[in-house]
Amino acid sequence: MRRPYDNSRTVADEAAVLADFGRRSRQAYRNLPHQRDVPYADGPRSTLDVFERPDAVGTVVFIHGGYWQWCDKSDFAFIVPPLLEQRFRCILLEYDLAPHSSLAAIVRQVGRALDFLRRQSWAGGPLVLTGHSAGAHLAACHMVHPAVGAVHLLSGVYELAPIRDTHLDAALQLSDDDIERHSPARMRGGAPVPCEVAVGALELPELRSQSARFARHLRRTSPHAPVSSRVLPGCNHYDILDAYYASLPRLAGR
């Protein structure tokens, strides 16, 4: 089975990178006030973590990656401190994983999380929705949600058809309907809110090309919202997280 989306190929030691993510994330939970595992729907993984800042000027909702079948929101709390420094409230969103849940169910679940946040006065108005890798795909699927005011997408997969020919499909079992309904690159309405599509210069060719094609698609189909794209020099699939969130672009709506 082909492995063109194997991001471990872009770093010398993926295990060490992920261990560092975990260490810094645990430190964030120890040092920063937060509410953990706030339920937004039924189910053990239908939860979110809220890192509050009383004088926040906006709310960032982050959706983690892991190709829809790995990782946990708690692995990515290391992105929170720089966002708090920029006066953003930060929410880490959790969701079910394949093969226990289908991709269609996961997409619906993220929608329920955004529905929940829209009802909460503490969430602070239009959300800055952002995601990394599979999380960028899930964020792109919901850029039309009425709770969302801006979208930042990192290192995402926006056309699902190639995934069916890789090792990732063993858990996902993508159907033709999944590919048609849940490939953001096939959506016709474009971006209704400001959107940026970012990718690292040192990422896999497949992710760089997916990002470039999706950004072009959004520009063609989004006459009423600004769409930008960035290639971050010197960044791979992992260190793009630190590089990007250390200075969230002003597209975030401030």
pLDDT tens column, 181-205: 999 999 998 999 999 999 999 999 9
Given pLDDT bands bounded at 50, 70 and 90, which one contains residue 7?
very high
**Mean model confidence pLDDT for the chain:** 95
Taking only the tens place, the pLDDT of each residue in 140-180 is 999 999 999 999 999 999 999 999 999 999 999 999 999 99
Q: What is the pLDDT of residue 212?
A: 98
Structural domain boundaries of the chain? 7-248
DSSP the chain: -B-TT-GGGGSS-HHHHHHHHHHHHHHHHHHS--EEEEESSSSTT-EEEEE--TT-SEEEEEE--STTTS--GGGGGGGHHHHHHTTEEEEEE----TTTS-HHHHHHHHHHHHHHHHT-GGG-SSEEEEEETHHHHHHHHTTTSTTEEEEEEES-----GGGGGBTTHHHH---HHHHHHH-GGG-SS--SS-EEEEEETTS-HHHHHHHHHHHHHHHHH-TTS-EEEEEETT--TTTHHHHHHTT--GGG--
Q: What is the pLDDT of residue 254?
A: 46
Instruction: Please report, rounded to a whole number, the percentage of residues in the chain having pLDDT higher than 70.
Output: 97
Assign a CATH topology to domain 7-248. Answer: Rossmann fold (3.40.50)
Kindly tell me if the per-residue pLDDT of 211 is higher than 60. Answer: yes
Given pLDDT bands bounded at 50, 70 and 90, which one contains residue 125?
confident
Kindly tell me if the per-residue pLDDT of 116 is higher than 90. Answer: yes
Taking only the tens place, the pLDDT of each residue in 78-91 is 999 999 999 999 99
Kindly tell me if the per-residue pLDDT of 54 is higher than 90. Answer: yes
Given pLDDT bands bounded at 50, 70 and 90, which one contains residue 250?
low
